[in-house]
Amino acid sequence: MPDASNGPVSRQLDVAIVGGGLAGLYAIHRLRGMGLRVRAYEAGSGIGGTWFWNRYPGARCDVESLEYSYGFDDALQQDWKWPERYGTQPEILKYINHVADRFDLRRDVQLETRIVSALFDGEANEWTLATDGGETARARYVVMAAGNLSTPRVPDFPGLKSFTGKWYHSGLWPHGGVDFSGLRVGVIGTGSSGVQMIPIIARQAKHLTVFQRTANFSLPARNAPMEPERERRHKAEYPERRRAAADTPFAIGGHAKPTHSALDVTDEERNAAYEAKWQEGGSISYLYAYTDLLVNKASNDTASEFVRNKIRGIVEDPRTAELLAPKDHPIGTKRLCLDTGYYETYNRDNVSLVDVRSDRIAELTETGLRTAGGQTFDLDAIVFATGFDAMTGALREIDIRTSDGADLRAHWEGGPLTYLGLMVAGFPNMFVVTGPGSPGVKTQMIASIEQHVDWIADCLGHMRERGLDRIEPSAEAETAWVQHVNDIAHATLYPLANSWYMGANIPGKPRVFMPYVGGYDRYKRHCDAVAAKGYEGFVFGRAKVPVASR
Ligand code: NAP
């Protein structure tokens, strides 16, 4: 580990924030408002996190824009005008930049700076962070706002270096865009990113070959220009709508709470309900049609089969349709995709689908790609829509240790351990925003970000009032929470899928279910109760030696 304590101290902070995306920016705003000296370190050359990096064609949020936005400032949510039902990547990035300017956040963001190590001094109760530029910063607290899907992963196919065409990863897209006109393009991966980009690349490319390992369920987004009346109504009720959203498992409002099992109704009724949801567009609405779609396999089968039949109805070639119809996991147990014309794309003459489950990709070659079964494909460009080292990747890339000998990589060797997804036992004063053990990735992310950051800010206020400067969860609280997260997951259908929620997309990564799937509403109530009981499960302290003079 680089010795973080020897470099020149460039900063003395109260709170160092790792990441300048939606979470890091809100943390600056909230914590600075408490009079704390804060600074966010961001690896990108601009703010925005996910929305800065993922510029692939068709990148768009799958939560409606009136919901997927900050709720902390009513004037902001009244003023901002979303042009479409679902925000595009450029539009969301524009919004984030507007927020940064509006609340004067940029002055506390240091761009093009990656935190490479963080060392906690247990005598002074202080973190020292080292950057890739050789600077160090000392801070009483660290807020890890480094993202859950921020460590792009290109599978280590042999021969990548020998490929003479161009290749791209969805999460590291060139800022100038890519023109695929006239090219033979291969897209590897059919998760949310692949499903969004494939229809658009198909319209440009001479030929598009999609390499699919696992078919994913996708529903129509039914994106459209924002209806003025819908916007007006929503804005008139914004605070109530935000409160109502906070009372749902996904932190997304506007959908009637399901009241009965999918098995309580007739086939006709059920299919009519699914058809209405299919026509309405959106993924949450579909999964929220009945109470038990994510906990009862027989119920889920009805929802899965409905979508499989839709795919069979759209895709003209029956063999391609069967390949696209997912059969290895219940709908919703992998992140449900939202698309615009995805299945229709396979009816184009210039698009072909290759099953790399039955015949895996063996290597990249100078001219394209070869499968283990000997099929070869000549390609001018390859797009890796192959996902991320999700939830733990960003923190595992930082060398995080304490003077007591704790090492986060070692602590998480068997899978991530946290208490409430907010802190890690043995790593005092380090908060995590929407990390493993939190419901973040299963919710409207910005709502979870605000909830986490508000909870952290309130906790720091509690400590300040009492002259405390050290907090960490007890090992028992952490163990109990990890068990609780697992118990809840295993009472659902989620573990039936090989998803990034399980670490299954990364060879060698421990298979542990990482997000809390008990629902945002339940989680928030639990966090509030923990705070109300004097931060039950946390241990507080004071520095043994005073911090270096400030
Ligand atoms: P992903 O869901 O992890 O999908 C990666 C795809 O690459 C999968 O189809 C995977 O197949 C395939 N793949 C990985 N390694 C492979 C290999 N060696 N050979 C063949 N195929 C391989 O990644 P993503 O699509 O980037 O999405 C990640 C998450 O980001 C989403 O689940 C979502 O939460 C978020 N996201 C959201 C939006 C949105 O809001 N609309 C858009 C994009 C992303 P397997 O399934 O077999 O592993």
Is the CATH number of domain 9-151+390-549 3.50.50.60? Answer: yes
Q: What's the pLDDT score for residue 8?
A: 60
Give the C-alpha distances (Å, rounded to integers) separating 65 from 79, 80, 224. 13, 10, 12
Tokens standing for residue 279: 């026509």
Whole-number Å distance, alpha carbon 192 to ligand 1 midpoint, is 6
pLDDT tens-digit readout, 288-337: 999 999 999 999 999 999 999 999 999 999 999 999 999 999 999 999 99
DSSP assigned state of 160: G
Tokens standing for residue 291: 């109470």
Evaluate if residue 490 carries a pLDDT over 60.
yes
Evaluate if residue 6 carries a pLDDT over 70.
no
pLDDT bucket at 548, cuts 50 / 70 / 90: very low
pLDDT bucket at 7, cuts 50 / 70 / 90: low
Residues having CB closer than 6 A to ligand 1 are 60-62, 149, 155, 170, 188-194, 196, 211, 213-214, 335, 338, 356, 361, 385-388, 500, 505
Q: Are 49 and 59 in contact (CB under 8 A)?
A: no
pLDDT bucket at 549, cuts 50 / 70 / 90: very low
Evaluate if residue 1 carries a pLDDT over 60.
no
Evaluate if residue 543 carries a pLDDT over 80.
yes
Testing ligand 1's pocket by substitution, the residue of 92, 335, 338, 511 carrying the most ligand atoms inside 8 A of its CB is 335
Testing ligand 1's pocket by substitution, the residue of 154, 169, 213, 334 carrying the most ligand atoms inside 8 A of its CB is 213
Testing ligand 1's pocket by substitution, the residue of 200, 386, 496 carrying the most ligand atoms inside 8 A of its CB is 386
Which residue, judged by its Cα, is nearest atom 29 of ligand 1? Answer: 192
Average pLDDT over all residues of the chain = 96
CB atoms near residue 155 (< 10 Å): 16
Q: Are 403 and 122 in contact (CB under 8 A)?
A: yes
Angle at 433 between CA 249 and CA 104, to 5 degrees: 110
Whole-number Å distance, alpha carbon 375 to ligand 1 midpoint, is 23
Q: Which atom of ligand 1 is nearest to the CA of 192?
A: 25
Evaluate if residue 97 carries a pLDDT over 50.
yes
Q: What's the pLDDT score for residue 175?
A: 95
Whole-number Å distance, alpha carbon 191 to ligand 1 midpoint, is 4
- Segment 341-349 long-range contacts (CB within 8 Å, at least 24 positions apart): 341/199, 342/195, 342/198, 342/199, 342/218, 343/218, 343/310, 343/311, 343/314, 343/315, 344/199, 344/314, 345/198, 345/199, 345/202, 346/315, 346/317, 346/320, 346/321, 347/314, 347/315, 347/316, 347/317, 348/202
pLDDT tens-digit readout, 399-440: 999 999 999 999 999 999 999 999 999 999 999 999 999 999
One fold for 9-151+390-549 and 160-228+250-384:
yes
Whole-number Å distance, alpha carbon 437 to ligand 1 midpoint, is 21
Can you name the residues that pair with 423 across neighbouring β-strands? Answer: 419, 431
Q: What's the pLDDT score for residue 111?
A: 98
Backbone angles phi, psi at 130, to 5 degrees: -115, 140
Provide CATH code, domain 160-228+250-384.
Answer: 3.50.50.60
Whole-number Å distance, alpha carbon 270 to ligand 1 midpoint, is 30
Share of the chain above pLDDT 90, in %: 95
Q: Which atom of ligand 1 is nearest to the CA of 384?
A: 7
Average pLDDT of 360-366?
Answer: 98
HSE at residue 486, side-chain half, CA atoms within 13 A, is 13
Whole-number Å distance, alpha carbon 153 to ligand 1 midpoint, is 10
Evaluate if residue 374 carries a pLDDT over 90.
yes
Evaluate if residue 349 carries a pLDDT over 60.
yes
490: left (phi over 0), alpha (psi -120 to 50) or beta: alpha
Q: What's the pLDDT score for residue 341?
A: 98
Q: Which atom of ligand 1 is nearest to the CA of 189?
A: 7
Which residue, judged by its Cα, is nearest atom 10 of ligand 1? Answer: 189
Whole-number Å distance, alpha carbon 58 to ligand 1 midpoint, is 15
Q: Which atom of ligand 1 is nearest to the CA of 59?
A: 42
pTM for this prediction: 0.96
Evaluate if residue 9 carries a pLDDT over 90.
no
Testing ligand 1's pocket by substitution, the residue of 192, 375, 391 carrying the most ligand atoms inside 8 A of its CB is 192
H or E segment and range at residue 321? helix 318-324
Whole-number Å distance, alpha carbon 393 to ligand 1 midpoint, is 15
Domain boundaries, the chain: 9-151+390-549, 160-228+250-384
Q: What's the pLDDT score for residue 545?
A: 63
Q: Which atom of ligand 1 is nearest to the CA of 334?
A: 32
Whole-number Å distance, alpha carbon 462 to ligand 1 midpoint, is 40
* Pairing status of strand 136-144 against strand 126-131: antiparallel
Q: What's the pLDDT score for residue 3?
A: 45
Share of the chain above pLDDT 70, in %: 97
Which residue, judged by its Cα, is nearest atom 6 of ligand 1? Answer: 189
DSSP assigned state of 372: T
Evaluate if residue 388 carries a pLDDT over 90.
yes
Whole-number Å distance, alpha carbon 2 to ligand 1 midpoint, is 33
Residue whose pair of structure tokens reads 């920016």 in the numeric block: 25
Q: What's the pLDDT score for residue 544?
A: 73
CA distance 153 to 419: 27
Residue whose pair of structure tokens reads 């579909």 in the numeric block: 286
Q: What's the pLDDT score for residue 376?
A: 98
Average pLDDT of 368-391?
Answer: 97
H or E segment and range at residue 231? helix 228-236
Whole-number Å distance, alpha carbon 479 to ligand 1 midpoint, is 30
